[in-house]
Structure 1
Amino acid sequence: MLFNSYAFIFIYFPIVLFGFFLIGRRSTRAAAGFLALASLFFYGWWSVQALPLLVGSICFNYWAGLRLTRAPGRTDAARKRMLVFSLVVNLGVLATFKYADFFVGNVNEGLSTAGIAPLPLLHVALPIGISFYTFTQIAFLVDCWQDKVHERSFVHYVLFVTYFPHLIAGPVLHHAQMMPQFANPATYRVDFDKVSLGLAIFVFGLAKKLLIGDPMGQYADLMFTGVHNGVQPTMASAWVGVMAYTLQIYFDFSGYSDMAVGLSLCLGVQLPLNFNSPYKSTNIIEFWRRWHISLSTFLRDYLYVPLGGNRKGPARRYLNLFLTMLLGGLWHGAAWTFVIWGALHGFFLMVNHLWNAKVRRNAKPGVVGRVLGWLLTFVCVMIAWVVFRAESMTAATAIYKGMLGMNGMTQSIFSEFGSIPYRKPEFFQTMLVGLIICLALPPTITLQRWVPQAQMLAGRPRLAWIFTAAMAVFTVILLGVCVSKLGSYSPFLYFQF
């Protein structure tokens, strides 16, 4: 079930919203159980076959979490063995479903050169959202071992893992962010301010996806698919196509994150910020503090720091950065293109930290320096997106050649792909609007600050009423425009991860 579907917007979510608060008036535990079951239904709508794996993962990790808790007669050595065992199980399941065929395929390439018969592929279907709910539970287990977990309600744990706004494509949640909210009785009492604000954030996220992300994706797909089929792009086609994908992935994933935050806020639960205008970044370090914040935080806390972080000297620090991003790239998908993408960002981060340490030191850049830093960062991000999106390294290489002008400078934009829509001005208008939103406007989530700013007008009730009414009318009109775009199958990009 997609957030951007008639079934979700007009049937599923209204039933869940009313049912949650209606049951919550009598029993908070029952309401939490209802929401957990509704979330399992939401997941099962996608794939009933994958539901047992999710339920089994939840039961195993809840049991492992209890075994990791300090108790009389339970030694630290025994707890550590349980931690290692539970991590091996989680990573083993993830590796089997997500990376088995990738590994076997690479082994087969080596076997073929030696004249040995290839191994059979497993052809295991990838369960949707497995990377997100596995990482969420790994963080829970590590925190149990570190005595950071105190909430032990099984119902709340199931809800924490399956909570439908984040289950399929994040954000990667931390138990400390969610468990106290599920245990708070106020969560189960309807707050109309939160509901109205949540709906506005949802609509803004929906507009990002449908009005900018999807149109950009149509043009990006045309270029990338054409190159995969053997077309050699000119410089203009390559750069415009890569820019289209740069905007597509931003508005697709940022839109999903906004929708998740908005839906959750309607239910009285605050999800963490996952995007903070990353394309405004003036260096790659800042970019990773703004892009997919929950994943960046997870990689820092549960991979970079355990590897040693910056505690073992500069050389080890750079190696840890590179390895963290390399594994972060592999997390996104079982393909060498994702590994290269992670390696590129690892290299960018190494260069950025080296520059800060040896050249810039503590000096703050001026206006020109910030502009040049932004331009360099944005171009580096675009360059890395090529391998992230390309279906093979061969296709990525062809696009890089096009970006360098090795296939000619320009023709009628995308005419080599036989695309009439690229001649329409709507494409460039949408691209311009997307760039303005990325670079000039605050994140959608700051609606939580925009609306409270109306309190500044408390002494002027007429202006406050006009402000609120204008926001409401604009949101309703925007929702109407978005609903007119519903109907076609348009999954979110991060569903594949």
Structure 2
Amino acid sequence: MPPVLIGYLILRHFKMENGIIWWLTLASLVFYGWWKPIYLPLLLGSVVVNYAIHRVLLKTQDRFILIFGIVFNLALIAVFKYADFFIGNVNALAGADVPLLHLALPLAISFFTFQQISFLIDTYKGQVTECDFPRYMLFVVFFPQLIAGPIVMQKETIPQFRLAIFRSRLMLNLAVGATLFAIGLFKKIVLADGIAPYANTVFGLAETANGVPFEAAWIGALAYTFQLYFDFSGYCDMALGLARMFGIRLPVNFNSPYKATSISDFWRRWHITLSHFLRDYLYIPLGGNRSGVSRQKANLMVTMLLGGLWHGASWNFVFWGGLHGAYLVINHSWSALVAKGYVPNILPKPVAEFSARGLTLLAVIVAWVYFRAESFDGANAIIYGMTGLSTVYEPKLWETVTLGTAPIWAGLALLAGIVFLLPNSIEFTERYNPILGVKKFVAQRKTQGFLPLRWRPSYGWAAGLSAIGVVSMVQVYRLAEMTEFIYFNF
């Protein structure tokens, strides 16, 4: 980051718009290639081929060309992400022995592929009239959001790649960006990685132990629930912060999803850009809710099953997606009954809202167990333990988990307080436009159910955020083993 920012500031000073675009592109390619240079040609090839298809679509708007582009992109994902999954299932069903390919998953392939599919579809619809290659390439490879999102649309970032944006309000951009980055780093390194060992221990033992005790099961499930929350929201904050240092605003991708009052509300808050992509480019083309209730429910299930498969080549992810599909079907059915007056609303509003949040969160936690577990047996062992149905287990195996659990529960309570009482990072900095469409974001907020903390550029906030940044960096060097961002796997 430091040399990239210095180069940007020099080019900004000399008002070199194309220089800034190519500098950020080069930096992004170096950043991507640092992991495994062998996959850099794959990224570059994908960018060149998709841009060529875009140019053809501008001239012809041929549906066959669009289908070819979509198939090309999906084929890349199919080969690198799902080939071994399909081969393994065919071998299991047919009793065959086809050798697995053992291909490493190219970093960010799902994210840059989805972005380019959306770009081709927008081109076909006439929503993209002209885009030069340098801006298109930066749109795909921009390093703050390349690895794990947010999935951005062309209309959101490409118009920002111009000198007027790069040269706007430098000190405020740096202040807001550094603030978001520091918060995200603290969430990831201190909070998410701090609770991760408890989740890893429980889920690891669940794969081998004979049953999981009640307390251990809940410790594991809740630890992972908070680990994933702070890991992913931390990444989103850091992405927003890095982009803002260059004057670029990204769309919101994470909005306090554990405060949701329904599963539909949850998916309006969790991985928002993926939800929008699945809605706009899968659910609606399938027919959405235009062909009757039964078709709508089928479309929901198909969308969520494929959304689960998008997260990884595993039946656990498919089952997780299916669970959320079933949740959404139940949610829509219940809402229809309420709308028609078949279900009387007898609870006071605060009680009803609290109950809705509690039930939604419980459903999400149960689904996370299958999302995290390495196998169905391991996930079922945790679920049986959470319900108290697991009565056969080896106590000695669980002593490391349950011994001295008071500090664990205190830590989980502290994380819950942060999640449910404090404003999220976007709310915290909302006066300074941390995201695209911040006015709409604020207008859609239904409740002020959090402490009214708001950031502003001041010495006090600078000192406080610098302190948590230092704590995070110290923790980096104290960790015995670095933990990757969870969503980089997808």
**TM-score, normalised relative to structure 2:** 0.90
Q: Is the 8 A contact 2:85 2:313 kept in 1?
A: yes
- Gap change, CA 1:218 and 1:361, over 3 Å in 2: farther
- Gap change, CA 1:451 and 1:466, over 3 Å in 2: closer
- Gap change, CA 1:447 and 1:150, over 3 Å in 2: farther
Quote the RMSD (CA, aligned, Å): 2.2
The Cα shift of 1:24 comes to 2.6
How do residues 66-465 of structure 1 correspond to structure 2 at under 5 angstroms? 66-69=55-58, 71=59, 74=60, 76=61, 79-112=62-95, 117-188=96-167, 191-361=170-340, 366-408=349-391, 416-419=397-400, 423=404, 425-449=406-430
- Gap change, CA 1:379 and 1:360, over 3 Å in 2: farther
SS in 2 for 1:312: coil
The answer as to 2:30 corresponding to 1:41 is: yes
Gaps (5+ residues) in structure 1? 1-12, 453-463
- Gap change, CA 1:422 and 1:68, over 3 Å in 2: farther
Q: Is the 8 A contact 1:303 1:324 kept in 2?
A: yes
User: 1: distance between equivalents of 2:43 and 2:202?
Assistant: 37
The Cα shift of 1:428 comes to 2.8
User: 2: distance between equivalents of 1:119 and 1:32?
Assistant: 46
- Gap change, CA 1:223 and 1:465, over 3 Å in 2: closer
- Gap change, CA 1:421 and 1:150, over 3 Å in 2: farther
In structure 2, the partner of 1:484 is: 474
User: 2: distance between equivalents of 1:90 and 1:467?
Assistant: 44
In structure 1, the partner of 2:39 is: 50
Q: Is the 8 A contact 2:77 2:109 kept in 1?
A: yes
Q: Is the 8 A contact 1:344 1:384 kept in 2?
A: yes
The Cα shift of 1:185 comes to 2.6
The Cα shift of 1:88 comes to 0.6
User: 2: distance between equivalents of 1:136 and 1:486?
Assistant: 32
**439-448 or 414-423, which moves further after superposition?**
414-423
| Candidates 20, 36, 58, aligned match of 1:31 | 20
- Gap change, CA 1:205 and 1:15, over 3 Å in 2: same
**183-192 or 263-272, which moves further after superposition?**
183-192
Q: Is the 8 A contact 1:274 1:293 kept in 2?
A: yes
User: 2: distance between equivalents of 1:289 and 1:330?
Assistant: 19
Gaps (5+ residues) in structure 2? 434-453
- Gap change, CA 1:480 and 1:426, over 3 Å in 2: farther
Q: Deviations over 1:142-172 (max 9, x none)?
A: 0010011134111111111000011111111
In structure 1, the partner of 2:445 is: none
In structure 2, the partner of 1:470 is: 460
The Cα shift of 1:210 comes to 1.4
User: 2: distance between equivalents of 1:92 and 1:422?
Assistant: 49
**TM-score, normalised relative to structure 1:** 0.89
User: 2: distance between equivalents of 1:249 and 1:49?
Assistant: 30
Q: Is the 8 A contact 2:28 2:141 kept in 1?
A: yes
User: 1: distance between equivalents of 2:473 and 2:298?
Assistant: 48
The Cα shift of 1:408 comes to 3.8
